[in-house]
Chain A
């Protein structure tokens, strides 16, 4: 039974294409906000890239966008008939810088939506925001913050974080639209993509190691964005913004919890979970929204500190 469920329902979901939101799932205000945000940032990326790469940018980025698309075909067996493959946002960012990566991912997502019906046309604004804007920003922020400590750990963490945070963004957009219940879909999306992110990290690091061994000039000559010193802070700010946004989506009690509460079985169902994280809230703070936001911020800071510490330890070991 479990095997049937896995192969018929869950295994198709495992494909990262499940992250492309189709039309009909988002409410209009959410979609318009996403379009606005991504239009602003991508417009800025166009200006930056025009200044950096001059006229050879078009063939280079067009072919590399096709590379991302074709690279997604290269898979590897994980377990039980599932396979992992590349999403590519972090790889493009590390090799070409965040602005060029944004344009490449924009082209990839647009072609997927226009020609392959992978993701909706109106929902493209949201898909762009999470996979063409957020993914390069996050991976660049993490990579720049940690690369001096350990290059490959930094690249792997950048790839992992970009996948997980993009997935959280998708879940938040769906919840804000009222299409899904936050309490169910956010942990599910984050959990599944925490695993997918590991595959992404492994392939990204493998590809970078191969490129560094064959064409080391490509790894060192990459265009860097202006003011690279600010990038760790920008990455952290984005992560915090996501943490701030997520509870806003669930200010009204989740439908499932509500129904459960009404029917009086919530205590039986949720008791053990509440012992660890009391209702995903910060203890000692009475206002529910504030408490959730605080919990999100503390979680983000903890993760950030943990990665910094980890990279530090790893570097010391390699230096010794």
Chain B
């Protein structure tokens, strides 16, 4: 697993890639907020928000199809919202019997369910747009810019740096277990569930110790290079007027969409 696997669109040249990270982060938050404020059943507003995403993605020269496919991540959660289909009072569309329970799909239930799914999907698409156009240092700096505590931001920065190192470490542990787990067809490898859980626990414990000891080495290395409790960066970021103008325009657009949706 390599860090670049996430960053395949970050090297593109586009006006969006040049925008300030803070502006993009706040703009995406505003977009998600607009999605959640849209009343259910306002299909026009959802279409407009979708058009905003299509436009923003085109401006960034990121292929739409890839983001669309990755945007389905929230889908498993739809199971929770499925109950909406049956629980909203309204005109009955479909009546069926599920194991002795008679349930009805109502029109209101269907509208509520579809709206929740659209909101969730649009929000995920916009979040994907953010990660496809903003480098990880810029995003971490944006977090600091919007007031996340310095300590938390520093932990996030470190975590992302070592994520792939430790994922490789975990992968090696899994490979070692696989190599030692001979099994006959149709039989699970190893002993009882309890035994398997203990093996997994041992692997986690071993991964913890490797991580802990690695963090000690990292700390020594940092101290020997002059670390005194604060991460220093060269980048001095100041907002350009153009960034602010783009942001204001974007927020106005969202405001108009929401205003029309609430009419």
Contact = CB atoms under 8 A, between A and B. Distances in A.
Interface of A: 9, 12-13, 15, 17-18, 20-28, 31, 42-43, 46, 49-50, 54-67, 69-71, 73-79, 84-86, 91, 95, 103-104, 106-108, 110-111, 113-115, 117-118, 120-122, 174, 179-181, 184-185, 199, 202-211, 214-215, 218, 254-256, 258-260, 262-263, 265, 268-269
Interface of B: 6, 28-29, 32-33, 35-37, 70-71, 73-74, 76-77, 79-81, 83-84, 86-89, 100-104, 106, 116-124, 127-128, 130-131, 136, 139, 143, 149, 151-152, 154-163, 165-167, 169-171, 173-174, 188-189, 193-194, 196-209, 211-212, 214-216, 218-219, 222, 227-231
A91 B102 contact: no
A70 B163 contact: yes
Contacts of A209: 198, 201-202, 205
28 contacts: A22-B74, A23-B120, A23-B127, A24-B116, A24-B117, A25-B80, A28-B36, A28-B37, A31-B36, A42-B152, A43-B149, A46-B149, A55-B227, A62-B158, A67-B211, A74-B207, A75-B200, A76-B200, A107-B155, A117-B74, A120-B124, A122-B36, A180-B81, A199-B197, A209-B205, A210-B205, A254-B87, A259-B87
Given A66-B159, A205-B201, A122 B32 contact: yes
Contacts of B152: 42, 46, 103, 106-107, 110
Given A56-B219, A206-B197, 13 more contacts: A24-B121, A28-B33, A57-B151, A59-B219, A63-B159, A66-B163, A70-B211, A74-B203, A74-B207, A111-B160, A111-B163, A113-B127, A258-B87
A56 B158 CA distance: 12
Given A55-B229, A62-B158, A23 B119 contact: yes
A206 B202 contact: yes
A80 B260 CA distance: 50
A79 B187 CA distance: 11
B76 A15 contact: yes
A25 B73 CA distance: 14
A70 B6 CA distance: 16
A121 B215 contact: no
A254 B88 CA distance: 9
- A-B pairs, top 9 by smallest CB distance, nearest first, are A206-B201, A62-B158, A255-B87, A24-B119, A210-B205, A55-B229, A23-B123, A24-B120, A22-B74
Contacts of A26: 36
Contacts of A95: 208
B186 to A, nearest CB: 13
A178 to B, nearest CB: 8
A109 to B, nearest CB: 10
Contact of B81 (A61, A179, A260): A179
A57 B211 CA distance: 14
A224 B158 CA distance: 24
Contacts of B227: 55
B201 A207 contact: yes
B76 A259 contact: no
A255 B159 contact: no
Nearest to B100: A269
A42 B147 CA distance: 13
A73 B76 CA distance: 19
Nearest to A255: B87
A180 to B, nearest CB: 5
Contacts of B171: 73
A43 B227 CA distance: 24
Contact of A62 (B136, B161, B194): B161
Contact of A65 (B103, B159, B203, B207): B159
B35 A24 contact: yes
B32 A180 contact: no
Nearest to A21: B77
Contacts of B123: 22-24, 120-122
Contacts of B88: 255
Contacts of B207: 67, 70-71, 74
A117 B127 contact: yes
A74 B173 contact: yes
A23 B77 contact: no
Nearest to A62: B158
A122 B149 CA distance: 18
A173 B131 CA distance: 27
A10 to B, nearest CB: 8
Contacts of A78: 193
A27 B139 CA distance: 26
A256 B88 CA distance: 8
Nearest to A27: B36
A28, A79, A211, most chain B CB atoms within 10 A:
A211
A17 B74 CA distance: 10
A61 B150 CA distance: 13
A63 B102 contact: no
A64 B77 contact: no
Contact of A59 (B71, B149, B158, B202): B158
Contacts of B230: 55
Contacts of B169: 70
A316 B44 CA distance: 67
Given A121-B28, A206-B202, A207-B201, A259 B229 contact: no
